[in-house]
């Protein structure tokens, strides 16, 4: 006789499968050749922000939103402003429907949050944006007090013994962030319930959803297992459950490095595997000092991973998606200094890798 957890899991899948399918599927737009190096800009970018992007020579920008600003009108306005500056929008984020405990942990308000996420997808498509990054963490991104990296630059740090979870004003305190331990089976059931409702909408709209790894990918934090997007095998199973060309990977390389051997594949192997699946759509190109239990986010050329080898790997697999600098340490002077350094370094690595591959 099936165990209660298996029966519950089967019931969850059946309920999710009963969601009405979309009337028609919109084919995914093919990605043009080449890596789209992109800059993250503020929610309300100034003319100087857009000028800076042009001066860096990037073609695309990524924009975060949240709160009451995550509306169709805002998305259309931002896209028009960016395009008027001669740039393109790769994606607009929405922190309201990113790292949703209600969805990940099946808390009150889950169905309302799922409907909010589906409406977000519809708004993106109406604004002419066909990629979005999604993260499925139930108790936020975990960090300790900021520390310094090379030259005294301020940077995010993680120490297992002092870390807490943070997300858009919420703080998740250990040892149990939600008053109890959750099981891996619960996490998988909740993911299945969510993704089976989201897939038909994404397919109807022709939107790619790239799923971000759990940050950091510790097996359990605050009583919540990070078993789905905290290792390679979890990703494979999650993509199989989604069973859709529209669900893929936003590979935050820094997060992957944080996990070390616990990820099941190193970052180069992960790039090759996800690219072979046709699921690799966005790269967060950043470095860290070491794997968990302790790391500091550092400059792209100052961590434990060979970023030249990583860029060569991306060129070898013909990666055609978006690539951003991310979590850049704060350098002296203007807030843009660190971003200029990172983008310049990334562009140089890309030019070198292309030349070496005969693709320059």
Among 21-25, 100-104, 109-113, which stretch is predicted with the lowest mean pLDDT? 21-25
pLDDT reported for residue 16: 52
In terms of Cβ atoms closer than 10 Å to its own Cβ (0-12, 13-18, 19+), residue 30 is exposed
Residue 216: asked if its preceding bond is cis (omega within 30°), the reply is yes
A 10 A CB-CB count for 248 gives 24
Instruction: Select the more confidently predicted residue: 13 or 355.
Output: 355
Q: Across residues 148-153, what is the average pLDDT?
A: 97
* For residue 74, pLDDT beyond 90: yes
Instruction: Calculate mean pLDDT across residues 176-194.
Output: 98
Asked if 164 contacts 172 with a C-beta cutoff of 8 angstroms, the reply is yes
Instruction: Note the pLDDT tens digit of each residue in 234-251.
Output: 999 999 999 999 999 999
pLDDT beyond 50 at 4: no
pLDDT tier, 2 (very low <50, low <70, confident <90, very high otherwise): very low
Using an 8 Å Cβ cutoff, are 21 and 200 in contact?
yes
- At 22 the pLDDT is 45
Mean pLDDT of the chain: 94
> In CATH, what number does 33-356 get?
3.20.20.150
- Please identify which residue in the block is written with the tokens 């510790």: 218
Cα separations in angstroms, 343 against 35, 46, 51, 349: 13, 19, 15, 10
pTM: 0.92
**Among 90, 92, 112, 89, which Cα is nearest to 101's?**
112
pLDDT for 339: 97
Give mean pLDDT, residues 113-142.
98
Average pLDDT of the residues in 221-241: 98
| Distance in angstroms (rounded) separating the CA atoms of residues 266 and 280 | 15
């Amino acid at each position: 006789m099936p165990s209660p957890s298996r029966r519950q899991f089967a019931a969850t899948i059946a309920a999710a499968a009963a969601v009405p399918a979309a009337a028609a599927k919109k084919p995914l737009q093919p990605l043009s050749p080449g890596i789209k190096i992109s800059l993250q800009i503020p929610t309300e970018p100034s003319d100087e922000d857009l000028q800076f992007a042009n001066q860096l020579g990037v073609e695309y920008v990524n924009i975060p939103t949240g709160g009451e600003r995550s509306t169709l009108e805002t998305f259309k306005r931002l896209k028009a402003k960016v395009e008027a500056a001669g740039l393109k929008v790769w994606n607009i984020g929405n922190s309201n429907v990113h790292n949703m405990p209600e969805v990940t942990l099946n808390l009150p308000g889950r169905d309302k949050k799922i409907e909010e996420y589906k409406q977000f997808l519809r708004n993106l498509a109406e604004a002419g944006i066909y990629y979005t990054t999604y993260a499925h963490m139930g108790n936020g991104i975990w960090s300790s007090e900021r520390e310094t990296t090379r030259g005294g630059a301020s940077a995010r740090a993680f120490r297992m013994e002092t870390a807490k979870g943070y997300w858009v004003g919420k703080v998740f305190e250990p040892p149990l962030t939600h008053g109890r331990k959750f099981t891996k089976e619960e996490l998988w059931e909740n993911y299945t319930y969510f993704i089976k409702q989201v897939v038909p909408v994404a397919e109807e709209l022709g939107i790619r959803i790239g799923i971000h790894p759990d940050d950091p990918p510790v097996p359990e934090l605050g009583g919540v297992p990070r078993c789905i997007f905290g290792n390679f095998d979890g990703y494979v199973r999650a993509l199989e459950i989604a069973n859709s060309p529209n669900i893929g990977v936003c590979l935050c390389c820094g997060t992957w490095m944080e996990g070390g051997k616990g990820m099941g594949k190193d970052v180069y192997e992960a790039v090759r595997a996800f690219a072979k699946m046709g699921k690799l759509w966005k790269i967060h190109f950043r470095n860290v000092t070491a794997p968990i239990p302790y790391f500091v986010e550092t400059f792209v050329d100052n961590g434990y991973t060979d970023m030249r080898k990583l860029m060569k790997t991306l060129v070898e697999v013909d990666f055609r998606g978006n690539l951003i600098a991310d979590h850049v340490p704060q350098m002296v002077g203007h807030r843009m200094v660190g971003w200029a350094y990172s983008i310049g370094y990334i562009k140089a690595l890309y030019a070198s890798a292309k030349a070496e591959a005969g693709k320059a």
